[in-house]
Structure 1
Amino acid sequence: MTASLEQLRRCHFAVDLGAARTRVYVKGSGLVVDQPSVAAVNTRTGALIAVGEFAERMTGRTPHYIRVVRPVSGGTVVDIEMAQRMLRHLLGDKMRRSLRRKPRLRAAACTPHDSDPLAQRATIETLVGLGARRVELVDTLIAAAVGCGLPVERAEATMIMVCGAAATQVAVLSLGSIVTAERIPVGGEAVDHAIVQHLRQQHALTLPSQSVRPLQIALSGNGITSSGPTSTEIHGRDVATGLPRSVRIDTAAVRDAIQTPLTAVLDGIGKVLRECPPDLVADLADRGIMMVGGSALLPGLDQMLRQATGMPVHIAERPDVCAVRGLGEMLEGRIEPLVLDPLSA
Structure 2
Amino acid sequence: MTVSLDQLRRCHFAVDLGAARTRVYVKGSGLVVDQPSAAAVNTRTGSLIAVGELAEKMTGRTPSYIRVMRPVSGGTVVDIEMAQRMLRHLLGEKLRRTLRRKPRLRAAACTPHDADPLAQRAAVETLVGLGARRVELVDTLVAAAVGCGLPVEQPEASMIMVCGAAATQIAVLSLGNIVTAERIPVGGEAVDHAIVQHLRHEHALMLPSQSVRPLRLALSGNGTAPDTLAATEILGRDVATGLARSVKVDTAAVREAIETPLTAVLDGIGKVLRDCPPDLVADLADRGIMMVGGSALLPGLDQMLRQWTGMPVRIAERPDVCAVLGLGAMLEGKIKPLTLNPLAA
Asked whether the two chains share a fold, i.e. TM above 0.5, the reply is yes
Deviation for aligned residue 1:222: 2.1
Among the aligned pairs, what percent are the same residue?
86
**Displacement, 1:223?**
2.3
Amino acid at match of 1:131: G
| C-alpha distance in 2 between matches for 1:340 and 1:252 | 53
Q: Indicate if the aligned counterparts of 1:218 and 1:254 stay in contact, CA closer than 8 A.
A: no
Amino acid at match of 1:232: T
Residue 319 (structure 2) pairs with residue 310 (structure 1): no
- Aligned residue number for residue 182 of structure 1: 182
Tell me if the contact between 2:2 and 2:337 (Cα under 8 Å) persists in the aligned partners.
no
- Find the counterpart in structure 2 of residue 40 from structure 1: 40
Partner letter of residue 209 of structure 2? S
SS at match of 2:202: helix
| Mapped partners of 1:31, 1:25: distance in 2 | 4
**Equivalenced residues, count:** 345
Work out whether residues 40 and 67 of structure 2, in 8 Å CA contact, stay in contact via their aligned partners in 1.
yes
The unaligned stretches of length 5 or more in structure 2 are none
What residue in structure 1 maps to residue 119 of structure 2?
119
Aligned residue type for 1:37: S
Question: Normalized against structure 1, the TM-score is what?
Answer: 0.98
Unaligned runs of at least 5 residues, structure 1? none
1:81 maps to 81
Partner of 2:269: helix, strand, or coil?
helix
Task: Name 1:22's counterpart in structure 2.
Answer: 22
| Aligned 8 A contact 1:217 1:232 in 2 | no
CA contact (8 A) 1:2 1:136 kept: no
Matched, 1:248 2:241: no
CA distance in 1, matches of 2:218, 2:233: 9
Which residue matches 2:98?
A: 98
Deviation at 1:2, TM superposition (A): 10
Q: Which amino acid aligns with 1:342?
A: P
CA separation in 1, counterparts of 2:276 and 2:89? 44
SS in 2 for 1:213: helix
Aligned residue for 1:299, secondary structure, equals: coil
Q: What CA distance in whole angstroms lies between the structure 1 residues aligned with 2:176 and 2:304?
A: 29
Correspondence 1:50-199 to 2 at 5 A? 50-199=50-199
| C-alpha RMSD of matched pairs (Å) | 1.2
Q: Bigger shift: 11-20 or 333-342?
A: 333-342
2:109, 2:135 within 8 Å by CA — same for their partners in 1? yes
Matching of residue 211 in structure 1 with residue 182 in structure 2? no
1:4 maps to a residue whose letter is S
- What SS does structure 1 have at the residue aligned with 2:97? helix
Equivalent pair of 1:109/1:135 in contact (CA under 8 Å)? yes
Deviation at 1:220, TM superposition (A): 2.5
SS in 2 for 1:211: helix
- Could you tell me how far apart the structure 2 residues matched to 1:2 and 1:84 are? 30
In 2, are the aligned partners of 1:192 and 1:214 still within 8 Å (CA)?
A: no
TM-score by length of 2: 0.98
Q: Is the Cα contact below 8 Å between 1:2 and 1:139 reproduced in 2?
A: no
2-side partners of 1:9 and 1:229: how far apart? 50
How far is 1:218 from its partner? 5.1
Given that 1:2 and 1:138 are in contact with CA atoms closer than 8 Å, whether structure 2 keeps it comes out as no
Does the residue aligned with 2:324 lie in a helix, a strand or coil? helix
What is the one-letter code of the residue matched to 1:10? Answer: R
d(CA) in 2 for partners of 1:130, 1:5 = 23
Q: Which residue identity is paired with 2:96?
A: R
1:103-135: CA deviation from partner (whole Å, max 9, x where unpaired) = 000000000000000000000000000000000
* Secondary structure of the corresponding residue to residue 4 of structure 1: helix
Partner Cα distance (2:267, 2:173) in 1: 19
Separation (CA, whole Å) in 1 of partners of 2:162 and 2:316: 10
2:24 counterpart of 1:31: no
State the Cα deviation string for residues 148-180 of structure 1 (Å, max 9, x = none).
000000000010000000000000000010000
Change (3 A) 1:218 1:257: farther
Letter in 2 for 1:111: T
One-letter amino acid of the counterpart of residue 89, structure 2: H
SS at match of 2:221: coil
- Once superposed, which parts of structure 1, at least 4 consecutive aligned residues long, lie more than 4 Å away? 214-218
- Look up the match of 1:232: 232
Q: Residue 178 of structure 2: SS of its match in structure 1?
A: strand
